[in-house]
Amino acid sequence: MASEANKRNRPDQNGKHEVAFKRNKKKILASENICGICGQIVDKRLKYPHPLSPCIDHIIPIDRGGHPSDIENLQLAHWKCNRDKANKLIYPKKEAGIDAQRKDALVNNTNRQLPLTMDWSNYHQEEKNAPTDAEEKTD
């Protein structure tokens, strides 16, 4: 999770865009079910820090000139996919509805496609601290 100092500096978490971002986040969580990065279904019952938990991704990152709270620059994503993407520019999985200016920005600034993230469907947080097979054999 973002540190408090970093959170205070983000325009979507503090300042004039905060209210609009929160409103648009609720709309996206209520209406979308597919990760805009990997194209897989997002299980909204999962909670952070589960890697497949839902979060909101800025399609064009704020530090690359993306709008902090415009719903056209926000998409649903898995937490892990969003972390892997970081501040890179990629083509969104859903190209329908992209206006010409955003599409031009994506095409001109994209340097690569992200690789598919690893399959986290069998992730169980409580198993993270379970002993490995090697540890069990040493007992």
- Mean of the pLDDT values across residues 119-133? 54
* Residue 18 DSSP SS3: helix
Domains identified in the chain, total number: 1
Q: What is the pTM of this model?
A: 0.63
Query: What domain range includes position 130?
Result: 4-111+118-137
Distances (CA, A) of 43 to 32, 34, 40, 128: 11, 9, 10, 20
> Which runs of E-coded beta strand occur in the chain?
54-58, 74-78
Number of alpha carbons in the 13 Å side-chain half-sphere of residue 130 = 8
Higher pLDDT, 27 or 98: 27
What does the alpha-carbon distance between residue 18 and residue 58 come to, in Å, rounded to a whole number? 14
Whether the predicted pLDDT of 13 surpasses 90: no
Contact 37, 63 (CB under 8 A): no
% of the chain beyond a pLDDT of 90: 47
**pLDDT (tens digit, 9 = 90+) per residue, 61-113?**
998 899 999 999 999 999 999 999 998 887 544 444 445 445 554 444 443 44
- Mean of the pLDDT values across residues 126-139? 50
